[in-house]
């Protein structure tokens, strides 16, 4: 392997430490404690794990964590009533509803109900629009995390060719917008892109967010490129019966022979998502109180 392995676990720990420092200053200088409210509807086992991890890390950085667990048959009216209460609660600076929600609820309507200033997942149409127009909003956590890793690894990205594979509202589109803001020349590829390997080969920065294990092979990677692997596919573990293993969208061993730097799966992008959720909550809190935003923790 010749590429530098980008250590997302260590980077995320550093982001959380920076957030914790800011939180401590907010509390000591202004008597303010940032608060994050997480709503979980139903008992999806994967969501339970995410919500528990978010709670733990929120408390560890000194923020207030408000968990709201609702039964799976909660009506839209009842869920919206809770969101309205949180929207007007001054001790809550960030609100997120853990997805997926049960089928009778519409995720887009749920996100739209959250005050955009508290939409720390950055998923609302308002925040997507602010990002697209180059204005300050709250940016979706995983793309924000990738941006932080890229700024650290690449530095000035001006004039770089960037290719993002995947065009979801959650990741691909905001990632493309962020790279455009960094003055990259951006291509957003997707399932209908022709000659995807050829498109990828011109990328100085290659970001893969598809969800197809090891789709990006070594010969898709431009020598010296920086590769960010967002994809997560869980497969049965080849050596440990009954266990599973995570694979990224990039064939790590092959790509690492060609790239200058690459994120592993796990331990690359994954840990950045919650760290950026905390960074967004801090940013939302600073804005709500008219205070300076934390440097280096926003887009």
Q: CA–CA separation, 280 vs 139, rounded Å?
A: 8
Choices 71-79, 177-185, 226-234, 291-299; region in contact with ligand NAP by CB under 6 A: 226-234
**Helix 270-288 crosses helix 141-154 at what angle (to 10 degrees)?**
100
* DSSP secondary structure string for all residues of 33-76: --EEEEEEES--HHHHHHHHHHHHHHHHTT-EEEEEEE-TT--H
Indicate which single residue of 20, 64, 170, 260 sits in contact with ligand NAP (rule: CB under 6 A). 170
> Does 64 engage in binding with ligand NAP (CB under 6 A)?
no
Instruction: Establish whether 54 is a catalytic residue.
Output: yes
Instruction: Establish whether 121 is a catalytic residue.
Output: yes
**Cβ-based nearer residue to ligand NAP, 18 or 142:** 142
Question: For residues 168 and 125, is the Cβ–Cβ distance under 8 A?
Answer: no
Q: Is-cis flag, bond preceding 257, omega within 30? A: no
Instruction: Establish whether 98 is a catalytic residue.
Output: yes
> Does 172 engage in binding with ligand NAP (CB under 6 A)?
yes
Task: Kindly list the distances between the CA atom of residue 158 and the CA atoms of 53, 189, 205, 227, 260, in Å, as whole numbers in the listed order.
Answer: 36, 20, 11, 17, 18
> Does 211 engage in binding with ligand NAP (CB under 6 A)?
yes
Q: CA–CA separation, 115 vs 183, rounded Å?
A: 30
Question: For residues 245 and 234, is the Cβ–Cβ distance under 8 A?
Answer: yes
Choices 84-92, 107-115, 116-124, 162-170; region in contact with ligand NAP by CB under 6 A: 162-170
Indicate which single residue of 74, 124, 142, 280 sits in contact with ligand NAP (rule: CB under 6 A). 142
Q: CA–CA separation, 41 vs 159, rounded Å?
A: 44
Catalytic residue of the set 18, 57, 98, 177? 98
Choices 65-73, 76-84, 235-243, 267-275; region in contact with ligand NAP by CB under 6 A: 267-275
> Does 34 engage in binding with ligand NAP (CB under 6 A)?
no
> Does 196 engage in binding with ligand NAP (CB under 6 A)?
yes
Indicate which single residue of 35, 116, 166, 174 sits in contact with ligand NAP (rule: CB under 6 A). 166
> Does 171 engage in binding with ligand NAP (CB under 6 A)?
yes
> Does 209 engage in binding with ligand NAP (CB under 6 A)?
yes
Contacts for 142 with CB less than 8 Å, ≥ 6 apart: 170, 171, 209, 230, 269, 272, 273, 276
Supply the minimum distance, in Å, between the C-beta of residue 27 and ligand NAP.
28
Catalytic residue numbers?
A: 54, 98, 121
| Binding stretches for ligand NAP (CB under 6 A) | 142, 165-168, 170-172, 189-193, 196, 209-212, 230-232, 269-270, 273
């Amino acid at each position: 392997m010749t590429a530098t392995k980008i250590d997302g676990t260590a980077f995320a720990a550093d982001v959380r430490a920076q957030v914790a420092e800011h939180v401590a200053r907010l509390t000591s200088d202004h008597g303010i404690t940032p608060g994050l409210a997480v709503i979980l509807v139903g008992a999806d086992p994967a969501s339970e794990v995410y919500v528990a991890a978010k709670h733990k890390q929120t408390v560890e950085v000194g923020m207030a964590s408000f968990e709201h667990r609702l039964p799976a048959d909660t009506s839209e009216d009842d869920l919206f009533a809770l969101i309205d209460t949180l929207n007007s609660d001054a001790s809550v600076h960030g609100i997120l509803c853990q997805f997926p929600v049960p089928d009778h609820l519409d995720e887009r309507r749920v996100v739209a109900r959250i005050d955009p200033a508290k939409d720390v997942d950055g998923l609302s149409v308002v925040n997507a629009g602010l990002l697209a127009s180059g204005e300050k909003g709250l940016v979706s956590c995983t793309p924000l995390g990738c941006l932080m890793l890229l700024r650290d690894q690449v530095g000035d990205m001006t004039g770089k060719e960037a290719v993002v594979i995947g065009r979801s509202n959650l990741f691909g589109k905001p990632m493309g917008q962020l790279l455009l803001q960094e003055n990259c020349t951006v291509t957003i590829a997707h399932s209908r892109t022709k000659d995807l390997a050829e498109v990828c080969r011109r990328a100085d920065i290659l970001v893969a967010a598809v969800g197809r294990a090891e789709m990006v092979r070594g010969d898709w990677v431009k020598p010296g490129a920086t590769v960010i692997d967002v994809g997560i596919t869980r497969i049965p573990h080849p050596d440990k019966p009954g266990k599973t293993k995570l694979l990224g969208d990039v064939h790590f061993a092959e790509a690492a022979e060609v790239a200058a730097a690459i994120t592993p799966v796990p331990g690359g992008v994954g840990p950045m998502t919650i760290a950026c959720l905390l960074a967004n909550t801090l940013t939302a809190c600073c804005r709500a109180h008219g205070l300076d935003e934390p440097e280096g923790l926003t887009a």
